[in-house]
Structure 1
C-alpha cells in the first residue's frame, strides 16, 4: 500500500485522492504546512499524520504557486527519493520551475478521475523502478522495457494513420497511461483529427529547447485521450519540419521511451529524413499497404532500401489494408511479391471513413466490427513483445503473373463438384 501525503490540498482534490483504492492517504491543512515551513521543521511535517515517511507527496492548489515550489524544494532536499507532485496548470514555465524544485509530476486541477488514478499508479510504479539497481540481474531482466513501434508506408492514402491511431487505442486499453502516439508526419499529420482532439500543444513545442532539455516539460505537451493513452499531435504549419533534424527526432523518441511502455510513431509517406531517424530507434515496424499493384510493388522497393540501410528491426508486421476478395489479387500474391508474410488483413469498410470523419476510434465501439477485430490482432502481435522470430528469407518475385499486371483478371474461385444432369 502506497503512503500518500497531501499538503495544502483543496477539499475537492483531497477527497478524490483519498478515494483512490490501494493507498493510505493523509492530508495537512495549508496553515499547518506554512507553520512547519517557517520553522524549518519539514521532517515533522512529513511524518505527523502517516506515522512514517510518505512515498508520494502531493502539494495542493490551496497554496500560492511560488510558496508551493519553495516547500517542494525543502521536501526534495530532506527526502530526495519521494515522488513529489504539484497541483497546478501544467504550462511550460510552471513545468520548468517545478522541475528545478524537485517536482516530478504536475497534475491539472481539471484532471479526470481516470487520469488521476493513472497518474498516482504511475508514480507508484516509478517508486518500484528505483529498486532496479538493488535487484538480482535475473529479476532486472524480467522487467518490461519500452517498445518503439514505427508505422510506415511508401505511399499516402493507404490508411496508415488510421491503423496507427487505432493501434495506440488498443495498446492504451491494454496498458492505461503507458502508451503514447507520436504524429511524426510533421507536414500533414492528422492523428489529432482522427482522434477528435483539440491539442493545446503540438510536436513543434516538443522540439523546443526546454522540452528537449527536460522530459517533465515534454510531458506537459502531450494530450490525453479517453482511450487511456497520450498523443503528441502534429502541427498546423507544414514548415515546422524544415527546422527538425534527425538527431532531434531520435532524442524525442528516447525521451518518450524513458517514460512509456509503448511508443507508437506514425510517420509520413515514403522514406524521408524523419522516418529514417525513427526507424533507427524502432524495436518493431508495421508496414502498411493497400491491396493494389502499385502500393504492393512500392512496399517491396521500400523493404529493399531499408534492408540495404540495415534499418529493418527483426520484428516486422505487414498490415494489408482495404483487403478485398474482388481486388484481383490474393494475400498469397502480396506475400510473394513483398517477401514477407501478411500479419493482418484489414477489410475494406465504409465504417472507417465515417469513424474518421467523426473523430471516433473503431477500437472503442461497443460492438467491434471486422476492421477493429483485425487491428486487435495487430495489437496482440505487439503487446508485451512475443519473442522475435527470425525474419523469413526474401521470396523472389515469380515470372510475370497477375500480380505484376495492373490489368490482371480476378483470381478464379474453386468451384464445387458439378452435378450430373
Structure 2
C-alpha cells in the first residue's frame, strides 16, 4: 500500500489492548487510538478517521456486536477486523452479518495481522473502484424519452419523428428513434425510409441484444438520426416482447445521448416496458372529447403502474381546424398542466404523406417551431444561443435534403 496505514483498537480489556498494540507496532502499523465499546469507540473513530479498525469480540458479545454495527453504519468504507479468544461459530456468523471483514483468533501474530489488514484494505479499494465504475456507467447513460398516447390519430408519431430530428440538430449528439409500435408503426413512412431490418427482426433473430448486434439493425436518416423501425410484414410484430423493448432501450442508451421511443396508441405490456425505461414520458392528447376521456384513463393506468407524476409531461396537439375542447378544459379534466401546446398547422398532413418531417421541409412552420421549443426544453438549451444554431442546422439539413 502506498498510503500510511493507521489503526484504531477497540477493546474493553486494557491488557488485551496492550497486547494488540504491541503486535501492531511490531508489524509496522501506526496506532492512532484505543477505545472501549460504545460511544467511546464511535466518537474516537469519527475524530481520527483510521484506515482500519480492530475490534475485540469478547464479553459482553452483544455490546461488541452493537459497537461493530454502529461503526459500520458511521464509516461504511472503513474495514473492521475482529479478533477473539472464542471459537463460537454463532458469534462469528453474527460478526460477519454485522459487517466484520475478517475474523482473527488470539493470540495475534505479526505476519498474519499484517496480511489480513492489507487484504481487507485492498478489497475495500477494489470495491470503491467498482462502485465508482458503476456510477460512471450509470451517469453516462443516455436519456430515454417515450412518446405515448391513449389512442391513434393524435399526432404521436409526427411529434416523435420531428422531435428526434430537432434534438439532433440542436445538440449535434447521437440520437436514436425507435418505432415501438411493432404492428402498425409509421415512423418509416413519415421519414420516407425503406424497412430493411426491423425491431421484429431483432427480437426474432437475436437471443442477446448488445451494442454490436443492435448496430446492424439501425438505419441512419439524412438528418443524422439513427432509426430502428417497425416490422413491414403483417405477422412479424408477434416476435416483439416487452423484454425486447427494455433490452433495446437500455443498449441504445449506452451509445446514444438521446433515445426516443414512439409507442402504439394503447396501454399494454410493451408500452409499459417503454415507459419504465423513460426518463420522461410525453403523453399526447388532441383537443377532442374522446381523446381527453382516453387520456384521463391513461393517466389512471400510469398511476396504477406506479409511474411517478414527475416523469409525465402532457402535450396537447391541436390537429384539427375546429376544436370543441379548449386547452384549459383538457388541463382541468386531466388535472395536469400541459408542458406544450402545439397549435393547428395544415402543413403537418402534407408532411406525413410525403415523408418529409416539417422540421426539415418547413423549419419555420408553426409545428416545427413548437417541436423545436420542446427539444430546447428536454435538452436544457432553452434560451441558449445554441437554440438559434439549432434552427440554422435545420435549415442546412433542409437544403441538403432538397439537393438529395
TM-score bracket for this pair, using the shorter chain length: 0.5 to 0.7
The one of 224, 230, 249 equivalent to 1:228 is 224
Tell me by how many angstroms 1:227 deviates.
1.4
Tell me by how many angstroms 1:190 deviates.
0.8
What secondary structure sits across from 2:281 in the alignment? strand
C-alpha distance in 1 between matches for 2:321 and 2:328 = 12
CA deviation map 1:165-224 (0-9, x unaligned): 111111111233511000010001010110011132111222144473432121121010
The one of 308, 315, 320 equivalent to 1:319 is 315
**1:284 is matched with which residue?**
280
What secondary structure sits across from 2:375 in the alignment? helix
**2:208 is matched with which residue?**
212
- Report if the CA contact (8 A) 1:288-1:321 is conserved: yes
Number of aligned residue pairs: give it. Answer: 253
CA deviation map 1:370-397 (0-9, x unaligned): 11111111112211599xxxxxxxxxxx
**Alignment CA distance shift 1:313-1:228 (3 Å):** farther
Q: Does 1:247 align with 2:243?
A: yes
C-alpha distance in 2 between matches for 1:193 and 1:351 = 16
What secondary structure sits across from 2:213 in the alignment? helix
**Alignment CA distance shift 1:366-1:243 (3 Å):** closer
- Report if the CA contact (8 A) 2:263-2:271 is conserved: yes
Name which of structure 1's ranges 324-333 and 355-364 shifts more when overlaid on structure 2.
Answer: 324-333
C-alpha distance in 2 between matches for 1:367 and 1:252 = 31
- Report if the CA contact (8 A) 1:206-1:212 is conserved: no
User: Would you identify which runs of 4 or more consecutive aligned residues in structure 1 move more than 6 Å?
Assistant: 133-137
What secondary structure sits across from 1:212 in the alignment? coil
**1:68 is matched with which residue?**
none
**Alignment CA distance shift 1:327-1:148 (3 Å):** same
C-alpha distance in 2 between matches for 1:165 and 1:185 = 13
Q: Give the alignment's TM-score, normalised by structure 2.
A: 0.58
Unpaired runs of 5+ residues, structure 1, are: 1-132, 387-421
The structure with the larger Rg is 2
Tell me by how many angstroms 1:356 deviates.
1.0
**1:330 is matched with which residue?**
326
Tell me by how many angstroms 1:285 deviates.
0.4
**1:360 is matched with which residue?**
356
Structure 1 or 2: more helix by fraction: 2
Q: Give the alignment's TM-score, normalised by structure 1.
A: 0.56
Superposition map of 1:92-131 within 5 A:
none
Tell me by how many angstroms 1:241 deviates.
2.8
- Report if the CA contact (8 A) 1:187-1:241 is conserved: yes
